[in-house]
Each structure stands twice: as C-alpha cells, then as structure tokens.
Amino acid sequence: MLALGLSVLARLAWMLFSPNGINVVDLHVYVDGSASLLTDRLYDFTYAEKTPDFPLPFTYPPFAALLFFPLHYLPFNVVAVGWLLATIAALYVVVRIAFELILGEEAARDPGNRATIIGWTALGLWMEPVRTTMDYGQVNVFLVLGAMLAVRSSRWWVSGGLVGIVAGIKLTPAISGLYFVARRRWAAVVWSAVVFGATVGISFLVAPHEARRYFGTLLGDADRIGPVGSVWNQSLRGALSRILGYDVESGPWWIAGVLVVMVLAFLAWRALGPDDRMGTLIMVQFFGLLVSPISWSHHWVWLLPTVLWLLYGPLRAVRGAKIMAGYWLVNTLIGVPWVLSFAQDSIWTIPRPAVLAWLGTVDVFGALVFFGWVIWSGRSRSVPDEAAARVASAGATRAA
C-alpha cells in the first residue's frame, strides 16, 4: 500500500508542479473537441497548443464525443486530476481482475495476493504504456478495463454490452469480440454487435452530419490519426514501414505480415489450455495491436496483464516464461519507443538508420517471439502428456 501511495503522490506532484505536468494533450482533445459535437465541427477541431508539429484532431466515433461532452462544463484542471485518479483506480481493477482470471476469485482475495496486486499496480504506473497514457490523458486503461470486465462476466448481455460500448468509444477494442468467438459464447458475440450498432444509431440520431462524415469518409484514414512511421507506432505497419523506408500501407508486405500474425496468433491460442481465459484474451489483444494500422506504444497497456500471466499463469513453470516477462518489463520500464523518439528527426520521417529502424520494432518483435514461445510451450507440454498416455495404454494392455 505504501508503494502505491508513493507512486500516486509522485504522479500527482509531477502533474501539479512540473512545468509540463498537465500536458494531457489527448484529454484536451476529448474535452475541447467534444464541445464541438453539436455545432457540426467535431472533426474540424484540432488542438495544437502543445503539439505544433501535429495539430491533434478528434479521431474517435461521435458516440465517444457524446460521452465526453459533459466534461467541458468543468474546470479543465479538475478534470485532469480526476482523470489521473480514475486511471489509477482503473489500473488497480485491471490487475485485480487479471489475478482472478489467472488464479481464481478466491485466490485473488487472499491477503497475500491482495498485497501483490497493490504492488503490481504501483509498478504498473511506471510502465511506459501506462505512464504515457497518464501523461497524455488517454483512455487506454479504461478500454482495457472494459474488456477485462466483459471477459470476467458470465452473463452474455453484460459481456456483449461492454464490448459493444468500448467499440463505440474507440473502434479498435472491437477485436475483443474475437475472444467470445474463441470461447464459443455466441450470444455475447451477437449482443456486442447489436450494442455497437446502437452506439452508431445514437450517433446518427444526435449528430447526423458528424456521423456521416466519420463513418462515410474519415473511417480508416490512418494519416489523420497520426504519423504511421513514427517510432511511437508499434504496429506491424509501423515496424515494416520504418524497416523498408516507406509507408507500406495495406500493400503486399503488410498483407503478408498480417497473414503470418494471423497464423501465429491462432496457433498460440490453440496451444493454450481450454480454461485459460487470460491467455486467450492476451492472444486476441496482441493480434489486434499488431494488425491495427496505428498502435501507439501507450495502446500496449495489455503488456501489464501479459507479464502477470507469464509469472503467475499456467505456463509460469515453462522454460523461458521469466525471460519473456523480463523482456516486457525492461522494455516498458525503460520506455524504448520513448528513448528512440529523441533520435528521430521528425514524427513524419519514415526512413531512418537501420539500427534505429530495427530497435523500433521492440513491441512487434516481442509479440511475434511471444506467439512463438506460447506455441512451443504448448507442444513441449503435450509431449510428456502423450508419453504418459502411451505408458498407461501399454500398462492396461499388459494387464488385460
């Protein structure tokens, strides 16, 4: 508890007393941009006060602006501090649910594990995806929480409703629906699509002009979201573009990469145990992060549950589990994309020295290796099981 309290105080002190502490540029976009919802200028809005090299537009669906709309009536500093505290609380719940999915609900309630959950929350605040999320005032931790709550619930209408809502806020979390496909929870799959459709319908009802613009012309425009080739973009498209020196867009290189990722993610999922809910969710989210045109490094909040799964999950005793967890911890605590960002001439420049290009694949490379390790782990575990089955069968034959 002390470690968490000190971490929270440090974050608050940074926000309140550092010259650039309240640099929550994305929160400015959410709050100030949503104020333009009812004037049909939501997608004309840009925020450039602290980002002159890239005026930030509102890039989420109109339904998100509708949810953010009430915030612009409050003093911004109050919203910023409240957003930080809410993000920290959400992160604690994410860690708690991760332990429940990995160890079971009773184990997560154990006093010893409760202290462990608090400790991991304190450490998680300093992992680059989380700390950057807080610096920018981003929504990522809340979206992860929504997906985690959906997986935790056994009620189809709760699970599907949560996925539909988070997809209505930001489209990329819709990938969470694949989890319910993998678990054959078809009612949740259908309901998530219905609820997402309802968010679209509400958007057309409240702001028809902006809804037509978003779903008609702006949807899929990655250039509007940001510089694809920047080292901050830890998607497959970003990594390939930096290595090849040009934006691969949705061309043959990207298509080939997506096919490889699809196969690896499927095989990794098949290698998991039938009751491994946390493992299944991680495979789905990694797949989504890789194939999305843009996955900023702060979108990789899923790395915290991944580390927990590696250290406490069913594969924790498999050789390499601690090495994989160590890789993600070192990468995120340092913030490799953040370090490399100081070496790029501009966020818009794609060609760069080969060393920087390859180092800039840290999350993509790590995810591909992770898939491979999970596949290998599943095969290595199946060999002793098959051998034991053969021995048992031979013994039964001799007895007969």
- The whole-number pLDDT of residue 352 equals 92
- The whole-number pLDDT of residue 224 equals 78
Distance between CA atoms of residues 26 and 29, nearest Å: 5
pLDDT in tens, 10-66: 877 877 776 666 678 999 999 999 999 888 899 999 998 888 878 899 999 999 999
**What's the mean per-residue pLDDT of the chain?**
90
- The whole-number pLDDT of residue 54 equals 84
- The whole-number pLDDT of residue 392 equals 41
Predicted structure pTM score: 0.92
- The whole-number pLDDT of residue 339 equals 95
Q: What is the largest CA-CA distance in the chain?
A: 83
197 vs 379: which has the higher pLDDT: 197
